[in-house]
Each structure stands twice: as structure tokens, then as C-alpha cells.
Structure 1
Amino acid sequence: MDANLDRDALHTFFGSSYDVVARFASELETQGELRGLIGPREIDRIWSRHILNSAALLPFLPSSGSVADIGSGAGLPGLVVAAVRPELEVILIEPMERRCLWLTEMREALELSNVDVRRGRAEEFHGAFTVDVVTSRAVAALDKLARWSLPLLEKGGELVVLKGKNVRDEIPPARKVLRKYGMSEPEVLEATTIDGVEPTTVLRSRRGKA
């Protein structure tokens, strides 16, 4: 675990989900670099860089319904969300076979019955299903991300994505596609988790019901 993190604070933040999340963090620490999921410099900061960064989404997600995680990779944020919100149906969309194998292994190891792993690119599932929320982490610029994500979104649903600090620069080029799908003007929000961990930037936009 990251040396500077308060274990008690982590227990308090994750509550009854802590043991499952900690198991996932441990698996990432031992297998993440070997399986090409994270870089070698990330191992000593799994919690602050990846687990808590993913968990910063939680206040912006519903307690039930459906979420699709585009380009799920190592399961960030999808597996963290699924662990903490067992009433949410979480669909992990990932094109790479070896990453899908990892996601499936983690679903079984963590006993996450609310997780569905789908191999493919997001656009391959356009018309196959829709969800209440589409999320992602460090996948693409907002204009591309919107084209891939918004056809999967129910009317009245939300795009809630983890982004870098310069995300406001991505909004103007994305406005055309956002308008096409009846999305609201994006909000850029600061999301905090526990003391000592840098806040995360979240972008949120809602699709109209019309």
C-alpha cells in the first residue's frame, strides 16, 4: 500500500467494500506490471493513483441502474465502482483479449456478480444496449470519447468521465457531437476522496429526455 496513506481513512471511505477493493488493489500490485496493465512506477501508488482516483466517481453515480465503462483496461474505474456499488450493473467494454481475460478473472476472484465483460470497441455495441451512465478513464479526447460513448447512453442518462486538469480545452471541439445527442453543457467538477490524495477532475453531461 502507498506508504503515505492512512489505512483507517481508507477503511472509513470504502466501508463494507474495503476488503473487496483491497483484494483488487493487491492483485494489481502483484500482477499489474507483469500483465501490462500498469507501469512499473505505478506499483507503489496503486491506491492513490488508481483505486482512489477511480473511486472519486462514486458520488456522481446512481446507487442502482446500469453503467458502461469504456476501455476498461485493468478495470479502472469499472471494477472499483462494481465493488462499492453492488446494486449497479457494470458493463466493462474492452477490445484487448488479454485485458478481458484479466477482467473476467477479477470478476470471479472478487465475486462481483454485477459485472459483465464485453470484448470489443464501444462503437461495436452501438444499438446492442443502452445504459444509465457511460464512464471512462484516460481513454481519448472528449470529441472522440463522445462519439464512442453517447450512442450507448439512455435518454436522460449521463456521461461521467475521469479527465485531466485541462479538460476544459477539450469541450469546444466536442460541442458538435454533444449537441447531436442532446447533451447538456458539460460540467467540470473537482472530486475528492481522502485527505492527502490529490483531487480528481470529473466531467459530467446529461442527455435530454426528448
Structure 2
Amino acid sequence: MSESLWQRQLAEGSMELGRALDADQQRQLLGFLALLTKWNQAYNLTAVREPGEMVSRQLLDSLSIQPFLTTAHLLDVGAGGGLPGIPLAIINPDVQFTLLDSNSKKTRFLTQCVLELKLANVRVIHGRAEACDDGIRYTQISSRAFTAVENMVHWCGHLLADGGEFLAMKGQFPDDEVACLPHGWQLRSHHSLLVPGCAGERHLLIIDRIPRTGA
């Protein structure tokens, strides 16, 4: 698929999501997609390999949670191929993004994206979530196809600020995962995501701690 078709898909899809992109943002997003496609041949960063699906399933899917982004510093855990962190960082230059992944090949790719796309608002950390403590407590932590939500709160709960929330991107609504949320955690809300060009179900789960009540 030619870059011009990718550009048209991106422009039309972002408008459907209610977010007009300027020329620089479009250029950076397509540049990221080109890097992802190139590195995917050797590093297996994403299972999406059909050119006609890449804009919708990688870029637009990531941008679909933009309305729920309220923090000044987002942690993206299991960042993998940079989704949703890199696309969100491109369209939110005033927000800081920390991308965390335990796979050194993937963090190498993410670091290269930061350099080539000149993303001054992105920091990459190589390490396991449960062992990470960078001294920051985040008000929002995102994940996309990372792990079951039970594992997510166990592994990353210590990184979440008081009053903070997890933004967990899922396909079909994971009833079994929600039922297994540990004591003290709750599914505060969930939202169906309508992603232009994506036929399958997409959901965003917002998970936080159950507020403590006084005696």
C-alpha cells in the first residue's frame, strides 16, 4: 500500500475519531508506521502485517483512547511496538510519556523511534513492571494487549498514584478477567471504542482502587 493511501486513511480516520491532525502529526505518525513495518520484519513487534490494516489497527486504534487521556505524564506498560504510547505522544507534545517493556529488542526499537521522530516527550525504560520503581507515581497507566487485568494491577499497582487509574485496552469485553480483579480494585467504567476500519470489538477498561471509607 502506498504512503498516499495510508495518509488518506489516517486523515479520514482521525476525523471520524474527532481529532484533526496537522501536517507534522500526520508525517510523524506515518513515519512511525514505516519504522514499525521495517523493524517488524526482524523483531516481530506486531502481528499486523497486512498493509491495508496497519493504519486502522495500529494508529487509529491507539488514538481512539485520546478522549480519556487526562494526565500530564502517562506510563505505557508492555509498550512493545509503541502502541498506544508513540501515536499518543505524537499528537500530545505537551504530555510526557514513559514507555516500559521487558524485551530489550522492543525497547531498542522504541529508542530508535524516539531518535528518528525527535520525540522529546518520550522516555523508554527497559525492565519488568513489577521490578520497576523510577520514583514516579503515575495518575494514568495505559496498556494494550499486555496481560490480564489481574496481573496488571499486581505488577503495576505500586506505580499508580493515589487516585490514579489504569487504561486497559482490550478486544472483546473480558468478563473473566474483571471477575478476577483482586480485593481493593474495581472496574470503574468501560467504554466501547469505535475504531474506523476495525471490524472487531474494542473496549477500554478504566480500573482504579476502591476508595477507603472511614470507620
Q: What is the TM-score with the length of structure 2 in the denominator?
A: 0.83
1:84-123 CA-to-partner distances (Å, cap 9, x unmatched) read 1111110000111111111000011111101010110111
Give the whole-Å Cα distance in 2 for the aligned partners of 1:41 and 1:129. Answer: 36
Q: How far did residue 7 of structure 1 move?
A: 4.8
Farther off after superposition, 156-165 or 1-10: 1-10
Q: Partner of 1:58 in structure 2? A: 66
Q: Partner of 1:197 in structure 2? A: 198
Matched, 1:171 2:184: no
Contact 1:94 1:120 (C-alpha < 8 Å) held by counterparts: yes
Say what the alpha-carbon RMSD is for the aligned residues: 2.4
After superposition, residues 106-145 of structure 1 pair within 5 angstroms as: 106-126=113-133, 128-145=135-152
Matched, 1:28 2:31: no
Q: Partner of 2:189 in structure 1? A: 187
SS at match of 2:43: coil
Contact 2:137 2:161 (C-alpha < 8 Å) held by counterparts: yes
Contact 1:168 1:188 (C-alpha < 8 Å) held by counterparts: no
Matched, 1:82 2:83: no
Q: How far did residue 36 of structure 1 move?
A: 1.7
Contact 2:39 2:109 (C-alpha < 8 Å) held by counterparts: no
Q: How far did residue 14 of structure 1 move?
A: 4.8
Q: How far did residue 207 of structure 1 move?
A: 4.0
Give the whole-Å Cα distance in 1 for the aligned partners of 2:46 and 2:177. Answer: 25
* % identity of equivalent residues: 25
Farther off after superposition, 161-170 or 99-108: 161-170
Q: Structure 2 vs 1, CA of residues 86 and 127 (structure 1 numbering), >3 Å: closer, same or farther?
A: closer
Give the whole-Å Cα distance in 2 for the aligned partners of 1:94 and 1:8. Answer: 30
Give the whole-Å Cα distance in 2 for the aligned partners of 1:134 and 1:82. Answer: 14
SS at match of 2:205: strand
SS at match of 1:174: coil
SS at match of 2:207: strand
Give unpaired runs (5+ residues) of structure 1: none
Q: Structure 2 vs 1, CA of residues 45 and 151 (structure 1 numbering), >3 Å: closer, same or farther?
A: same
Q: Structure 2 vs 1, CA of residues 36 and 85 (structure 1 numbering), >3 Å: closer, same or farther?
A: same
Q: Structure 2 vs 1, CA of residues 26 and 203 (structure 1 numbering), >3 Å: closer, same or farther?
A: same
Give the whole-Å Cα distance in 2 for the aligned partners of 1:159 and 1:186. Answer: 10
SS at match of 1:129: coil
The equivalent position to 1:15 in structure 2, one of 16, 21, 35, is 21
1:53-86 CA-to-partner distances (Å, cap 9, x unmatched) read 1111111111x51111111111011111111111
Q: Structure 2 vs 1, CA of residues 92 and 40 (structure 1 numbering), >3 Å: closer, same or farther?
A: closer
The equivalent position to 2:45 in structure 1, one of 37, 47, 65, is 37
The equivalent position to 1:101 in structure 2, one of 93, 102, 108, is 108
Q: How far did residue 43 of structure 1 move?
A: 4.4
Q: What is the TM-score with the length of structure 1 in the denominator?
A: 0.85
Give the whole-Å Cα distance in 1 for the aligned partners of 2:61 and 2:117. Answer: 20
Q: How far did residue 29 of structure 1 move?
A: 2.2
Contact 2:190 2:204 (C-alpha < 8 Å) held by counterparts: yes
